[in-house]
């Protein structure tokens, strides 16, 4: 029996160590399988105070910074040899946004995520990874 090959891999990134390992796994797997790779990062609004959340300029600046950062991941994946690499940046609760919005929209067949988030309240009160592993309609690989 040969291992399953994936056609489209979605990897969630932030700057946590686990997310970095998830990214490295995802680019290796995408290159090996000849799969499309989509890199996603979510701007978490619960990390903002009420004044920041109400400021369109603040949110736009935060989002622009995040988009530029994710493009750096895209360049690394392309330099590694992954041929088809896309990026997605969205806002909201990371687990819910990825499971309810991103996965149905882009239709990957594997989600690769780190087990611990560097950001947000979730690092203390539960796991985005556990939510995604439980609720995603596709295979999920949690890296630690």
Whether the predicted pLDDT of 48 surpasses 80: no
Whether the predicted pLDDT of 23 surpasses 80: yes
As a whole number of angstroms, the distance between CA 124 and CA 69 comes to 25
pLDDT tier, 39 (very low <50, low <70, confident <90, very high otherwise): very high
Mean pLDDT of the chain: 84
More confident residue, 107 or 115: 107
- Integer Rg of the chain from CA: 15
- Look at phi and psi of residue 109 and say left if phi exceeds 0, alpha if psi is from -120 to 50, else beta: alpha
Tell which residue, 9, 8, 23, has the closest CA to residue 143: 23
Question: Sign of the CA dihedral 94, 99, 104, 108?
Answer: positive
Which stretches within 13-142 are classed as H helix?
17-33, 50-54, 56-80, 94-97, 103-106, 122-125, 128-135
- This prediction has a pTM of 0.84
Sequence spans of domains, the chain: 8-143
CB 13 within 8 A of CB 73: yes
C-alpha angle 116-126-17 in degrees, rounded to nearest 5: 5
pLDDT above 70 as % of the chain: 80
pLDDT digits (tens, 9 = 90+) for 96-114: 999 999 999 999 999 999 9
pLDDT digits (tens, 9 = 90+) for 1-19: 457 899 999 999 988 888 9
> In the CATH scheme, what is the code of domain 8-143?
3.40.50.620
Q: 3-17, 35-49, 63-77: which range is least confident on average?
A: 35-49
């Amino acid at each position: 029996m040969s291992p399953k090959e994936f056609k489209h891999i979605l990897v969630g990134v932030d700057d946590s160590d686990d997310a970095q390992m998830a990214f490295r796994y995802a680019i290796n797997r995408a290159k090996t399988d000849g799969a499309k790779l989509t890199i996603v990062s979510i701007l978490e609004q619960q990390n903002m105070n009420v004044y920041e959340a109400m400021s369109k300029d603040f949110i736009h600046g935060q989002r622009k910074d995040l988009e530029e950062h994710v493009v750096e991941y895209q360049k690394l994946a392309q330099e590694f040899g992954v041929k088809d690499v896309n990026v997605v940046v969205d806002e909201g609760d990371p687990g819910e946004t990825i499971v309810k919005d991103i996965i149905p929209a882009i239709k990957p067949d594997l989600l690769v995520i780190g087990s611990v988030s560097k950001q947000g309240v979730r690092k203390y009160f539960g796991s985005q990874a556990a939510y995604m592993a439980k609720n995603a309609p596709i295979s999920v690989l949690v890296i630690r």
